[in-house]
Amino acid sequence: MADVRLVDIEKKYGNFLAVPQLNLTIEDGEFLVLLGPSGCGKTTTMRMIAGLEEITSGDIEIAGKRINDKPPKDRDIAMVFQNYGLYPHMTVRQNIDYPLKLRGVDRAARTRRVQETAEKVELEALLERRPSELSGGQRQRVALARAIVRTPSIFLMDEPLSNLDAKLRVTMRAELKHLHHELGVTTVYVTHDQMEAMTLASRIAIMREGRIVQLDTPKRIYSEPADLFVAGFIGSPSMNLIDGAIAGGVFTAPGVSFPVDQPDRDDVVLGIRPEDLEISTAPDAPVIGKLYALELTGESTLVTLRTGANSVCARGPADHEAEINAPCHFVPKPGARVHLFDRPSGHRLDGLSAKGQTL
Ligand SMILES: Nc1ncnc2c1ncn2[C@@H]1O[C@H](COP(=O)(O)OP(=O)(O)OP(=O)(O)O)[C@@H](O)[C@H]1O
Ligand SMILES: [Mg+2]
C-alpha cells in the first residue's frame, strides 16, 4: 500500500497547458475520486501517475519515493483505461490472467483467481471469447477484472463503469466499494457520474481546466460547495441557482425573497437544493411562481415552477398532483441550507462559507 504525492506537476502538449501546477496528496488507503467535465485533465493526471505520460515538470512520489523516472511496470499500479486497453489477440481468460502470469504466480492459483474474478464481474460465460467479440460493457468488465485480479499498491480507474447498463453499474459500484474495504488499496478513480463519486469516495477532487477547485469529503462538497461551478456540478437535480441582490437582510429576485444574514450587495446568487424545498400554500412563501413541470421519479416528484426568468425545482412527495400553470409556492424545509455566491467571481460568500445558513 502507498500514498501518492503530486508536487507541482505540470503537463504541456506542445504549447497547450493541459495541467498547470497540480498539487495533490492521496493518502494511503484512500479512495480519491477525480470528478470534472470532459477535457479537464483527469485522464492526463492518471496517466502521469501510471508513468504512461511524461510530466513536463514537477515530481510524483509514491510511498515517499520520487518515481518520475520509474517505468510503468515498476510502479506496482493496476490501471483500468477509459478505452479498455485490452490485448486483442488474447481471450478474455488470457487478458485477465496476464498480470498474474507476468508476476510468475503458479498455474493453479492463477486459474482459481481468474475464475473468482470473472465471477465478480459476471464474465464466467465469456472467458474463451476475444475482445472483438464483446460488447462495450463486456470489454469494460474485462478491463476491470484484469485490474482487480491481483492486489497492487495503487489502483487507477478511469471511468471503469461508464459503459455498463444502469443496473450493472450499481452492482459493480457496490463490488468496488466492498473490494476497497477488503483490500484497502489506495485508489484514484475518475468518473463523470456524481452519484458514483459521492458513494465511493473518501474524498472528491473537483477539477476544472486542469486545476482542482475543491478537494473535500463528499459530505462537505455537497453541503459547502466552494463556488458556483461545484454547486452546479454536484447533486441531481442540481442546486437551484438564482441571480438577485441583497437589501436590508433580504435576498430578492423575481418571485423569490429569502431572509439572509448578509450585508447589502448586488450580483449575488442564492443556491438552494431541490431536496431542501417543499411545496406549500403559504401566501408569503419565499418562492412563488407558476407550476411548469411535474416529473415522477418513483420515490418522489420533481416539481418545477417558473418565476421571472428563473426555474426553481423542489423534490415533493410521489403522490403530489397539480395543474400545470397553477400558482405554486415553495418554502424551505426545516434545517434547509441556503448558499450565497458572489456572481462575478463565483466564490461562496464569506460569513456563510463555513457552515452555510440554516433556516
Ligand atoms: N496527446 C495529446 N495531445 C494534445 N492534447 C491532448 C493530448 N491528450 C489530451 N490532450 C488535451 O488535454 C486536455 C485534458 O485531456 P484529458 O484526456 O486528460 O481530459 P479528461 O478530463 O480525461 O476528459 P474526458 O472526461 O473527456 O475523458 C484536453 O484538452 C485534451 O484535448
Ligand atoms: Mg478522460
pLDDT tens for 126-145 read 999 999 999 988 999 999 99
Cell of 99: 498480470
Q: 61 and 209: one domain?
A: yes
pLDDT of residue 183: 87
**pLDDT tens by residue, 197-217:** 999 999 999 999 999 999 999
Q: Is 228 among the domain residues?
A: no
Same domain, 211 and 300: no
Question: Which among 262, 230, 237, 238 is positioned nearest to 249, based on CA atoms?
Answer: 262
Question: What was the pLDDT predicted at 357?
Answer: 45
User: Per the domain annotation, does 313 fall within a domain?
Assistant: yes
Distance 82 CA to ligand 2 centre (A): 6
Q: Are residues 275 and 304 in the same domain?
A: yes
> Are residues 109 and 256 located together in one domain of the fold?
no
For residue 84, is pLDDT > 90?
no
Average pLDDT of the chain?
Answer: 92
Q: Once rounded to an integer, what is the mean pLDDT over residues 171-181?
A: 90
What's the 229 CA to ligand 1 centre distance in angstroms?
20
Mean pLDDT, residues 23-31 taken together: 96
Domain holding 307, by residue range, is 239-358
Q: In percent, how much of the chain has pLDDT > 90?
A: 84
Give the count of domains, the chain: 2
- Tell me: pLDDT of 81 over 90: no
Spatial separation of the C-alpha atoms in residues 314 and 219, rounded to whole Å: 20
Residue 2, helix vs strand vs coil:
coil
Q: Report the nearest-CA residue for atom 5 of ligand 1.
A: 13
Is the pLDDT assigned to residue 313 strictly greater than 50? yes
Residue 350 pLDDT exceeds 80: no
289 pLDDT higher than 60: yes
- Provide the CATH number for the domain around residue 278: 2.40.50.140
Question: Residue 95 and residue 114: Cα distance in Å, rounded?
Answer: 10
* Average pLDDT over every residue of 231-245: 94
Cα-to-centroid distance, 15 and ligand 1 (Å): 14
What pLDDT is stored for residue 175 in this prediction?
A: 86
Residues 185 and 248 in one domain: no
Q: Does residue 279 sit in the same domain as residue 332?
A: yes
pLDDT greater than 70 at residue 355: no
DSSP classification of residue 54: -
For residue 134, what pLDDT is reported? 94
338/95 Cα distance (integer angstroms) = 51
